[in-house]
Chain A
Amino acid sequence: MKLLLLEDDAEAAEFVQRGLTEAGHTVDIAATADDGLHLALEGAHDVLIIDRMVPGGDGLSVVRAVREAGKATPVIFLTAVAGVRDRVEGLESGGDDYLVKPYAFSELLARVQALGRRSPTIDLRTRLEVGDLSLDLGGRTARRGATRLDLTPQEFKLLEYLVRHSGQVVTRAMLLDKIWGFHFDPRTNLVDAHMSRLRSKVDRPFSRELIHTVRGAGYMIDDRA
């Protein structure tokens, strides 16, 4: 993917650039709000990674300007501004995700990949499949092969999110945010507990496991050998 990073701290920018490049992406770097806006409007990026506090303005105003120019490029805010209202403000200004510094690089990578892969138009699919697992989005039912899985609505939601991002790492923080709407770090293994239940229904009765734990990062659903 082609990414734009708006970040004024050169060392942090280089660190992120190196990591993303190693993951196979190309990264443009801008250090000021003006440069960032210019590059965002000129270049065809797949994801914009925007720091909130940069010289020459707030990252929020850059994103607003990008949206006003009619560009729907996904945006993730990467920021030390983490007040009670700041996350909502970031999303209201046109951001798609909000990651607070300091963060683990794996978290950023997972979120950037999730955003970049998002289909740009409205997803009209009514059926999702991974291997022999199929989800009927209209009827909210799931099957593995011919066996119908008995899932609670919440389990279905969790499985759907995993399947929509199949082949990608989904972090615990992403799941907390998207499935439970928790914007804080719980002290209990909340995600793991739910995932364990889900696995007991989706994977355990079958010979082939689809949900994988990615050490130090999160989970992934994949039909790999």
Chain B
Amino acid sequence: MTGPRFLSSSALRLAAAFALIFALGGALMFGAFQWAVTGYANSSLEDDLRLETRLLLTDGGASDLAALQRRISARTRIASPFAYALFDATGRRLGGQLPVGISCDPGLNQVSVPAPSDDGAIDDEPILVRTLATSLPEGVLVVGKSTQAVHELQEWMAEIALWGAFGMAGLAAVGGLTAGLILARRLDKVNAATARVMQGHLGDRLPPIGLGSEFATLRDNLNGMLERLEASLQAMRHVSSDIAHDLRTPLNRMRQRLEQARGHTRTVKGLQAAIDQALTDLDGALDIFAALLRIAQIEAGTGRETFAPVSASGLVRRLFEAYQPVAELAGHTMALLTDSDREILGDEDLLVQMLSNLVENAIVHADGPLHIILGVSDEGTRTVLLVTDTGSGIPEEALPKVTRRFFRIDHSRHAPGSGLGLALVAAIATLHDADLVLRSSRPGLSARIAFGPAVVDRTSPP
């Protein structure tokens, strides 16, 4: 990873974010710790004061000021951490070193005294002394204790908090940076793979990313997408070669016809006939072209966004009314079977074209009078559209191939049609998530298109 890219990389941002979060977290944690410890130290200092007071006042100390004074002197001599002051009822000081000005109101108080320093000079910063005054029958006893130890504890903890927060932030930054760099390195591999795909290696797939199941899912999805794209491109290539092959045939025929007319036809009538023939050839080529485009569009999923409920029986009735006269004129009979009042979710225009192709296939490829059944029936939750005929059918071995573009069975090669009709039927069925089943029904062919239950609020891919 190069310098400027590194600065804008997710690794660095991740590290910075981690560091900040941990620094804040550390500060908060140490702050709370300090608050709790200081509280504890203060309350234990107050307990000490109460205990000392109680010790001094036991065994008659409370009523005998002289004995109390002796006790204070004795304790002062053994360098007790406490300081004292004793007053008689008139307020005269009887002993103790606590400075003048301390509060004699009973209870806890505090006073600041100049700090004694090692060289005997007066320090700038006074020391806070916590005091506990107790009223005696004939005076007041004040016991005090310096809070310096608490202050020192606080300062020491502040230092720990500062370094602790720094340390945690530092570690978090290192951790974030490492995680980010690992991620970046994995993504570099993915980027390299996608770059290869972009260069045209469509068969390439992404390497495992590692790092956990969500990345495995991401990789699977991306690879699935690549697979789909590759399949579409391959289908496109197929179409291109199909077009090259099957579209050139009528165009070539047309060219020859025109060339021949130009060279040999002498009469206006003959030329007009040649032009008419050429126009017919051209229309044939254009039809193939249009059908191919339509199949490609449908295979790409166009139309799904405007699916709406379509009455299944209404649909087959419409087709029946349109084709019954055609069948009758060609010497066939046609029957309508409406055994469903369900709706299919789909594109009505495309469904009409699908059924129309199947019915026309029967009529166009008939080699004698047929009976054609056009129908719909419910089978469980599925709605099945049905077109059957009593014609010569399709040989069993050709059934799987008839929905391919330009596939034609030998015996129908001379029949009209481009070999695209069933390919379009299959494409429309697939667009509707319906299953197309073609079966030789001896005699004839049966085409069944089974639709799933119509769910109106179905979400479709954009």
Whether B212 sits at the interface, judged by CB under 8 Å, is no
Smallest CB–CB gap between B415 and chain A, Å? 10
Pick from A85, A190, A196: contact of B302, CB under 8 Å: A85
> With the chains together, A193 CA to B323 CA distance in Å?
9
The answer on a CB contact under 8 Å between B352 and A83 is no
Chain B 288-302 against A: per-residue CB contact (8 Å), 1 yes, 0 no? 001001100110001
B246 located at the interface, meaning its Cβ lies under 8 Å from any Cβ of chain A in the complex: no
Are A83's CB and B326's CB within 8 A? no
Taking a contact as CB atoms under 8 Å apart, the answer to whether A154 and B321 are in contact is: yes
A181 touches B (CB below 8 Å) = yes
| Measured CA separation A82–B286 after assembly (Å) | 13
Which of B323, B347, B416 sits near A190, CB closer than 8 Å?
B323
Cα distance A102–B363 when bound, in Å? 28
Given the complex of chains A and B, what is the CA–CA distance between A193 and B325 in angstroms? 6
**CB of A185 within 8 Å of the partner chain:** yes
| Residues of chain B within 8 A of A84, CB atoms compared | 294, 297-298, 302-303, 347, 349-350
B350-389: which have CB < 8 Å to A? 350, 352-353, 356, 360, 363-364
Q: Is the CB of B326 within 8 A of A102?
A: no
Minimal Cβ-Cβ distance residue in B for A152: B321
Binary A-proximity of B143-179 (CB < 8 A = 1, otherwise 0): 0000000000000000000000000000000000000
Contact of A188 among B297, B350, B364 (CB under 8 A): B364
Identity of the chain B residue whose Cβ is nearest the Cβ of A89 in the assembled complex: B306
On chain B, the residues within 8 Å of A193 by CB distance are 325-326, 328-329
Question: Once the chains are docked, how many angstroms separate the CA of A213 from the CA of B214?
Answer: 69
- B421 proximity list for chain A (CB < 8 A): 187
| Chain A residues, CB < 8 A from B287 | 185
* B325 neighbours in A (Cβ, 8 Å): 193-194, 196-197
Nearest-neighbour CB distance to chain A for B333, whole angstroms, equals 14
A190 touches B322 (CB 8 A): yes
Q: Do A188 and B417 have beta carbons less than 8 Å apart?
A: no
Instruction: Report the interface size for chain B: residues with CB under 8 A from the other chain.
Output: 31
A186 within 8 A of B: yes
> Given that A102-B286, A190-B326, A193-B326 are known contacts, is A183 also in contact with B349, CB under 8 Å in the complex?
yes
Q: Report the separation of the CA atoms of residues A198 and B9 in the bound assembly, to the nearest whole angstrom.
A: 77
Check A188–B306 contact: CB distance below 8 A: no
State A101–B389 Cα separation when bound (angstroms).
35
User: Is chain B's interface secondary structure helix, strand, loop, or mixed overall?
Assistant: helix
| Secondary structure dominating the interface of A | loop
Residues of B within 8 A of A154 (CB): 321
Over the window 180-214 of chain A, the binary record of Cβ atoms lying under 8 Å from chain B Cβ atoms (1 yes, 0 no) is: 11111111111001101100000000000000000
Say whether, besides A83-B297, A84-B298, A184 and B322 are in contact (CB < 8 Å): no
Q: Is A88 an interface residue (CB 8 A)?
A: yes
Give the residue name and chain of the B residue nearest to A190 (CB).
B326
Cα–Cα, bound, A83→B302 (Å): 9
Q: How far, in Å, is A85 (CB) from chain B's closest CB?
A: 6
Query: Do A85 and B303 contact each other (CB < 8 Å), given the known contacts A188-B363, A196-B329?
Result: yes
Q: Let me know if A88 and B356 touch, CB within 8 A.
A: no
Shortest Cβ distance from B298 into A: residue: A84
Q: Is the CB of B349 within 8 A of A189?
A: no
A80 to B323, CA, bound (A): 29
- Asked if B298 and A189 make an inter-chain contact with CB atoms under 8 angstroms apart, the answer reads no
Nearest chain B CB to A213's CB is how many angstroms away? 16
Interface residues of A in 82-108 (CB under 8 A from B): 82-85, 88, 102
Q: Are B352 and A181 in contact (CB under 8 A)?
A: yes
Shortest CB-to-CB span from A140 to chain B, Å, is 16
| Chain A residues within an 8 Å CB radius of B297 | 83-84
Known: A88-B306, A184-B356, A187-B417. Is A82-B290 also a contact (CB below 8 A)?
Answer: yes
Residues of chain A within 8 A (CB-CB) of B416 are 187
A189/B326 in contact, CB under 8 A: yes
Please state if B326 and A188 are interface contacts (CB–CB under 8 Å).
yes
Q: Mask for B408-425, Cβ within 8 A of A = 1, else 0?
A: 000000001100010000
Chain B hits for A189, CB < 8 A: 326, 329
A-B CB proximity, top 7 nearest: A193-B325, A193-B326, A193-B329, A84-B303, A84-B302, A188-B326, A180-B322
Interface pairs (6), CB distance under 8 Å: A85-B302, A182-B352, A187-B364, A187-B421, A193-B328, A196-B329
B residues adjacent to A (C-beta < 8 A): 286-287, 290, 293-294, 297-298, 302-303, 306, 318, 321-323, 325-326, 328-330, 347, 349-350, 352-353, 356, 360, 363-364, 416-417, 421
